[in-house]
Amino acid sequence: MAKNNEFVKFDKVDKSYDGKVLVVKDLNLDIAEGEFITMLGPSGSGKTTCLMMLAGFETPTNGEIYLDGNPISNIPPHKRGIGMVFQNYALFPHMTVYENLAFPLKVRKFSKDEIDKKVEKALSMVSLSDFGSRMPAQLSGGQQQRVAVARALVFDPAVVLMDEPLGALDKNLRESMQYEIKHIHESIGVTVVYVTHDQSEALTMSNRIAVFNDGKVQQLSSPDKLYEEPVNSFVAEFIGENNTFQGEVTDISKDRCKIKLDSGKEILANPIRVKSKGEKSIVSLRPERAIIDPEEKMDNKFQGKIEEVIYHGDHTRVRLNLLGNKEFILKVPNSSARMDIKLGNEIKIGWNSFDARALDPK
């Protein structure tokens, strides 16, 4: 059967809590069946409000949300066939793990045999087959979160919504749970809508990421495209580490432009969001795209002074004063074991104009 590319559809959706300020503005978003899509953004950007409208806990002020072609704004949450995983697990403390998973099945009037089978299958999916008789308080945070994931999946929902589900876990556990949820998604193919403000989590887990700011989707792309090809300065700053220069376009052709920086120097860049001479621009460059001792053919080569050196295990993070930017970051692989990376040293840095993206000013 063909996959529905508009399985979940936000159609011209606005949301206001007070009738004046829109926290979600004219949202048009299609989510494909079986897709893992992440809504990513800072606090107050509108991402959680979108999730709550899809769940049925909030109603759009304008527009409509569709699930598999059907409008759902007037359907109560428990009749939408949607599973939910929250940050605080929301398990019933007085029920065993088995009873927690059986609860959504009992509400839906499944038989005892069906409940047993489905609970067993869901527990095995999250590697907790022997934990059915335990109480939530007897489980670690990671195990409780796995039970919460299993409970969201146990009734074979059309969509699973996850709201910052790993926020309460420590770093190592959070990373292992990211892979676990990703693998569960790959094995059962359920549609997942995930909300987080953690960019590395979004990059690790998602098929596509919708970056929210100020109630609007700034960019909707695959993780690699989002990182390598941000469409505006907000996305470039929000996703990954980023070096920026401010200046004005002095020359422009199809695939290259010249930017005169505030420091007076000129750099060559890729004209992503600038079209004509005289325009102001912020130029974005990823730290790993700049190298020490550039080849002659590189079209941006400059001298910088080392202001800070921090060892990070697999790489050294070097902060430079370069072209008037005292916060220019360089990532040097430690396999290269360079002797000249010392505080106060002057080093030559270079990058290709293609990697320096001339974007709109904020």
Q: How many CA atoms lie within 13 A of 203 on its CB side?
A: 11
Q: Over the Cα atoms of the chain, what is R_g?
A: 25
Q: What is the mean pLDDT of residues 135-150?
A: 91
Provide the pLDDT for residue 147: 93
Between CA 94 and CA 87 the distance in angstroms is 19
What pLDDT band is residue 142 in, cutting at 50, 70 and 90? confident
What does the buried/exposed string (b/e) look like for 227-238 if buried means 16 or more CB atoms within 10 Å of the residue's CB?
beebbbbbbbbb
Residue 245 structure tokens: 């220069």
Q: What is the mean pLDDT of residues 239-257?
A: 92
Whether pTM exceeds 0.75: yes
pLDDT for res 362:
67
Domains and CATH numbers, the chain: 8-233 (3.40.50.300), 241-359 (2.40.50.100)
pLDDT tens digit sequence for 191-232: 999 999 999 999 999 999 999 999 999 999 999 999 989 999
pLDDT of res. 217: 95
Q: Which residues lie below 8 Å from residue 236, measured CB to CB, with a gap of 6+?
A: 230, 242, 244, 282, 284, 357, 359
What's the rounded mean pLDDT across residues 292-296? Answer: 88
* Mean of per-residue pLDDT scores for the chain: 91
Mean pLDDT computed over 10-24: 94
Cα angle vertex 29, ends 25, 35, to 5°?
A: 145
Show Cβ contacts of residue 356 under 8 Å, excluding neighbours closer than 6 positions.
267, 268, 269, 270, 283, 284, 285, 289, 300
Q: How confident is the model at residue 337 (pLDDT cuts 50, 70, 90)?
A: low
Q: How confident is the model at residue 322 (pLDDT cuts 50, 70, 90)?
A: very high
In the block, residue with structure tokens 């007897």: 138
Q: What is the pLDDT of residue 355?
A: 94
Q: For position 361, what pLDDT does the model report?
A: 78
Average pLDDT value for residue range 19-30: 94
Q: What is the pLDDT of residue 88?
A: 78
What residues contact residue 279 under an 8 Å CB cut-off, 6+ apart? Answer: 248, 249
Q: Which of 59, 61, 58, 64 has its CA nearest to residue 9?
A: 64
pLDDT at 116 over 90: yes
Give the residue-averaged pLDDT of 118-138: 93
112-125 vs 97-107: helix axis angle to the nearest 10?
130
Q: Are 334 and 211 in contact (CB under 8 A)?
A: no
Residue 1 — pLDDT band, cuts 50, 70, 90? low
- What integer is the mean pLDDT of 63-91? 90
What pLDDT sits at residue 336? 66
